[in-house]
Chains A and B, each alone.
Chain A
Amino acid sequence: MAFIECDRLTHVYLKNTPMETVALRDVTLAIDEGEFVAIIGPTGSGKSTLVQHFNALLRPTSGSVRVAGQDLGDPKADLKRTRQQVGLLFQYPEHQLFEESVFEDVAFGPRNMGLNTDEVKTRVQEALTAVGLDPAAFGPRSPFALSGGEMRRVAAAGVLAMSPKVLVLDEPAAGLDPRGKVEILGRFRSLHAQRGITVVLITHDMDEAAALAQRVIVLDEGRVVMDGPARTVFTRADDLARLGLTVPTVTNVVRRLRGHGLRIRDDVLNADEARSAIREALGWN
Chain B
Amino acid sequence: MPPLIETRNLRHVYNAGTTSAVVAVDGISLTINQGEFVAIVGGNGSGKSTLAKHFNALLLPTGGEVYVDGRDTRTRASVWDIRQRVGMVFQNPDNQLVATVVEEDVAFGPENLGVPPAEIAARVEEALRTVNMLEYRRHAPHLLSGGQKQRVAIAGILAMRPQCLVLDEATTMLDPQGQREVIETIRRLNASGVTVIHITHAMDEAALAHRVIALQDGRIGLDGSPADVFARAEDLERMGLALPLIPALARRLREDGIPLPPGILSVDQLVDAVSALRPGQTARTNPNGVH
CB A282 to nearest CB in B, in angstroms, measures 6
- Bound together, the chains give a CA A177 to CA B240 distance in angstroms of 9
In the complex, the answer to whether A275 meets B256 with C-beta atoms within 8 Å is yes
A244 within 8 A of B: yes
A147 within 8 A of B: yes
- Bound together, the chains give a CA A284 to CA B245 distance in angstroms of 21
A136 within 8 A of B: no
- Bound together, the chains give a CA A204 to CA B173 distance in angstroms of 12
Tell me the nearest residue of chain A to B260, going by C-beta. A278
- Bound together, the chains give a CA A20 to CA B278 distance in angstroms of 56
**Interface with A: B63-71, B103-111, B128-136, B269-277, which one?**
B269-277
B275: A residues at CB distance < 8 A: 257, 260-262
Tell me the nearest residue of chain A to B145, going by C-beta. A43
CB B96 to nearest CB in A, in angstroms, measures 16
In the complex, the answer to whether B253 meets A275 with C-beta atoms within 8 Å is yes
B284 within 8 A of A: no
CB B289 to nearest CB in A, in angstroms, measures 10
**21-65 of chain A: CB within 8 A of chain B:** 42-43
B252 within 8 A of A: yes
Known interface pairs A43-B175, A262-B278; A178-B290 also in contact (CB < 8 Å): no
Contact residue among B45, B267, B268 (Cβ-Cβ distance under 8 Å from A249): B267
In the complex, the answer to whether A250 meets B271 with C-beta atoms within 8 Å is no
CB B274 to nearest CB in A, in angstroms, measures 6
List the interface of chain B (C-beta within 8 A of A). 43-45, 145, 172-173, 175-178, 201, 203, 240-242, 245-246, 248-249, 252-253, 256-258, 267-268, 270-271, 274-275, 277-279, 290-291
List the interface of chain A (C-beta within 8 A of B). 42-43, 147-149, 174-175, 177-180, 182, 204-205, 207, 244, 246, 249-250, 252-253, 256-257, 260-262, 271, 274-275, 278-279, 281-285
5 interchain pairs, CB-CB under 8 A: A177-B44, A180-B44, A256-B271, A260-B275, A262-B274
